[in-house]
Chains A and B, each alone.
Chain A
């Protein structure tokens, strides 16, 4: 068996389309996960105690089970409870839920990492809760959480490959289909690895750039 580059080039349009689906699911899923995760973290922190406990269970459940199992249950088990989603929607919903659980924990650690004195100083000059959240807590958290957020977002990219088991037309599915058809698994998966890696590197590079830009905002020594 030889490494058949021509084969890959001839299927480039298909592969690129699948890559587009992967990137779209990744970006939208991560963005929604970050957003929903933030809402969960805020509700758990500022809401009534019952709500905190009520949200703890699903977050722990999601974090305690493999994404593959979750997505399988959502797609094939959903119809039994009247939730019939097409594969792309199920994939996006699944990614969002999965990401939200992890991102919510990151946001929570961020809230806990902000020195109480920074918030008290805001209170003392008259900022209300909403203003304190917007002007002090969120910006401080952003720089504290940036490295771990980037890391989680990288994991999210790699989880999109799992969506191939429910036939989401993303990159891994497209490449393995080609592999099956032309018996070109090695070429296909080698390229696959390179593409994911390139995306991860791009994401890390953006993270590093942002960190550099934010470095002067680091916490001052006291």
Chain B
């Protein structure tokens, strides 16, 4: 028996009003690997990630996490049935999410941000939760900043706290939506390094990124999205190597400065 993929997306359709943002996406995210999602602005990358995190509900199609349906199951006649909230929460708990804007809670310290869900959701005693949070912070190199508030941290540090916050709940899948896009170039590296280490530890990751260098070196699989459709999918050398798909060529030309494009 083959192992179920970490994430399986089938014929996913998402519309905002009359605007179809995802038009029937199929995607498999293999376990223990890094899958990178690239594509031009507005192509639906964030929307796809948000559907997988169940922050948006898709209009059609199915998502499975570790073989379990997320949000909806398909019935006998192909109709979709909504699952009970507790079931949705259970499946969601396998997933950790990291946002472009970090989204740390400003009234809690770094430690407080990481410990919050351990106490509030998992019911751990505060002290045990903080010990665990402290260990997570030291994994991202921030034990010295545990008592600082988000407003007292650099962007790169905030994003590392956000990663620690997601990891504290022991997810087996991590979703990243352009985790370095709002960082100054000199802070991008520290976040990418944390993500690299995470990848080496065997975490299943789905990463939306414009860092083509990262995608090419860390990603096992590249998925290129355009206008809500999956255009190309494959190993980095297949996707970026020559001959390239014409749309990828355009994308690399338009969205990257020449310097980065020639690195490939």
Contacts and interface: CB of A to CB of B under 8 A. Distances in A.
Nearest to B97: A124
Which of A117, A131, A143 lies at the interface centre, i.e. has the most chain B CB atoms within 10 A of its CB? A117
Contact of A120 (B55, B165, B166): B55
Which of B53, B99, B162, B166 lies at the interface centre, i.e. has the most chain A CB atoms within 10 A of its CB? B99
A52 B106 CA distance: 30
Interface of A: 115, 117-118, 120-127, 131, 135-136, 139-140, 143, 216-222
A222 B187 CA distance: 12
Contact of A124 (B96, B101, B102, B151): B96
A120 B104 CA distance: 11
Contacts of A127: 116-117, 120-121
25 contacts: A115-B103, A118-B103, A118-B105, A118-B106, A120-B97, A120-B103, A121-B105, A121-B162, A123-B55, A124-B55, A124-B92, A124-B166, A125-B117, A125-B165, A126-B92, A127-B116, A139-B107, A216-B152, A217-B106, A217-B149, A220-B106, A220-B150, A220-B153, A221-B155, A222-B155
B74 interface: no
Contact of B151 (A131, A136, A220): A220
B158 interface: yes
Nearest to A134: B120
A222 B99 CA distance: 11
Which of A118, A121, A222 lies at the interface centre, i.e. has the most chain B CB atoms within 10 A of its CB? A121
A125 B116 contact: yes
A28 B236 CA distance: 67
Contacts of B89: 126
A216 B112 CA distance: 14
Nearest to A216: B149
B48 to A, nearest CB: 15
Contacts of B155: 221-222
Nearest to A119: B103
A138 to B, nearest CB: 10
B200 interface: no
A217 B151 contact: yes
A119 B123 CA distance: 20
Nearest to B50: A120
Interface in B127-164: 149-153, 155, 158, 162
B105 A117 contact: no
A64 to B, nearest CB: 34
B147 to A, nearest CB: 11
A121 B103 CA distance: 6
B104 A220 contact: yes
Contact of B105 (A126, A136, A221): A136
A120 B150 CA distance: 17
Given A126-B93, A221-B151, A140 B103 contact: no
B158 A219 contact: no
Contacts of A131: 120-121
B248 interface: no
A123 B96 CA distance: 11
Contact of B99 (A120, A143, A216): A120
A221 B116 CA distance: 21
B169 A126 contact: yes
B105 A124 contact: no
A125 to B, nearest CB: 4
Contacts of A143: 106-107
A97 B96 CA distance: 45
Q: Which 6 A-B pairs have the closest CB atoms?
A: A125-B117, A220-B150, A117-B103, A121-B103, A126-B121, A217-B107
B175 to A, nearest CB: 9
Contacts of B106: 118, 140, 143, 217-220
Given A118-B103, A124-B55, 10 more contacts: A120-B103, A126-B93, A127-B116, A216-B149, A216-B151, A218-B106, A218-B151, A220-B106, A220-B149, A220-B151
